[in-house]
Amino acid sequence: MINVIELFAGVGGFRIGLEASGGFDVVWGNQWEPSQKAQHAFNCYARHFEGKGIHSNEDISSVNTQIFQNQSIDMIVGGFPCQDYSVARSLNGEKGIQGKKGVLFWEIIRLMKETNPKYVLLENVDRLLKSPSKQRGRDFSIMLASLRDLGYSVEWRVINAAEYGQAQRRRRVFIFATKNETPYVFNRRHFNESQMIHEEGFFAKAFPVQEGISTKKKPQSFIMKKDIVEISDEFSMNYYNAGIMRDDLVYTEAVIPEEEAPKTLGDILQSDVDDKYYLSEAAIEKFTYLKGPKKIERTSATGHQYVFSEGGMSFPEPLNKPGRTMLTSEGTINRSSHVVEDPQSKKLRILTPVECELLNGFPENWTEGMTDRMRYFCMGNALVVGLIERMGKRISEIEKENIDGNQVELDLVFETDTK
């Protein structure tokens, strides 16, 4: 079994996917929402996984890593917030965080230092690759450099879940890091970076892409600077939707997925839903305005006049396509909420909490027991479980290779010593 620590666990999307793929034991999971007294997500997580591992409901920065000393931690997973990762040098020359916004990523690094896992799998919004806007790619570069300094090779891919058979057009960046001394890394040293992305790497096997290299967005490569503070102060980079870092060499390439037929919004709709999900005439009127095209004259704080414009959206949603990206405001009267025409009643309604769970690939009624508002919120924060299940199967393949590879290396050493 691969022993796992799950960080920023939410309602357990990573864990559901890994357990469905088999071979994983989540020995410790942490979920804490600092802005709320009621810990709805944690309670949901603890209820479903009762008796399986330790469930932590505390600020990750207060976790004492000594609790992992007698455990063999193979892997850390987590979907962490996209924040400010800038660093600065203190008066005594040490590197530190500039401000408080970037602390959560550094907590991942802290736990990695203490547990030394073979694998790390992280998820974030795809704008991470471009943040901050005034120094594009800086934050992701700091992350890459930090992982390199701990002795990891890193692969990343932006994945739209609907392009790989899922029911939601949810685009997220996934980051897979593995220790440099593993057979998985060693066995692929003779493959170049593009071959890793297209054929031999972590994501290539689970999420195939089309052959050939883009002529419009030519691949880029560079040597990552050693000084992380210098990266924070000066470095910028235009990262594409796929890439790899081995040692100091970083390579990024724009790839096109080999698309699979997705589930559709119509596939996940329930029948005989409660009347409370149907829209009143007043709500229909508000949605019609919010989702329609508009041009509005506005005046900025400095007195500058301009025209704000936005295009129209499908209203109601097409049922023969996957759903759009769910946000935490799902179910409220706003532009991003899904509105569907119920196939039975032919009336307009919002999605039910169960339908939102199904959009993310969760079991039905996973978040039952919370208010509807919190159920929508939790699903807006969650990831698509089916993607994690595929990644789990790929990690299991790599684990087998690492175990078999280690045995081969030990045999060679033994043969050499006895000659």
Active site positions, annotated: 82
3-class secondary-structure state, position 254: coil
Q: What is the DSSP letter of 278?
A: B
Distance from the first to the final alpha carbon of the chain: 36
E strand segments, 94-151: 95-97, 119-125
Q: What is the DSSP letter of 277?
A: G
- The phi-psi region of residue 365 (left if phi > 0; otherwise alpha if psi is between -120 and 50; otherwise beta) is left
Say how many CA atoms lie within 13 Å of 373 toward its Cβ. 2
The neighbouring-strand residues paired with 257 are 209
Q: Work out the angle between the directed axes of helices 103-115 and 138-149 (0-180°, nearest 10).
A: 10
Residue whose tokens read 């759903």:
323
Residue whose tokens read 């994983």:
24
Longest dimension (CA), the chain: 87
Residue whose tokens read 């081969």:
408
Query: Is the CB of residue 8 less than 8 Å from the CB of residue 30?
Result: yes
The sign of the dihedral angle between the CA atoms of 385, 391, 395, 396 is: positive
The sign of the dihedral angle between the CA atoms of 26, 30, 36, 38 is: positive
Hey, how many other C-beta atoms are within 10 angstroms of the C-beta on 376? 25
Q: How far apart are CA 96 and CA 233, in angstroms?
A: 13
Q: How far apart are CA 244 and CA 402, in angstroms?
A: 19
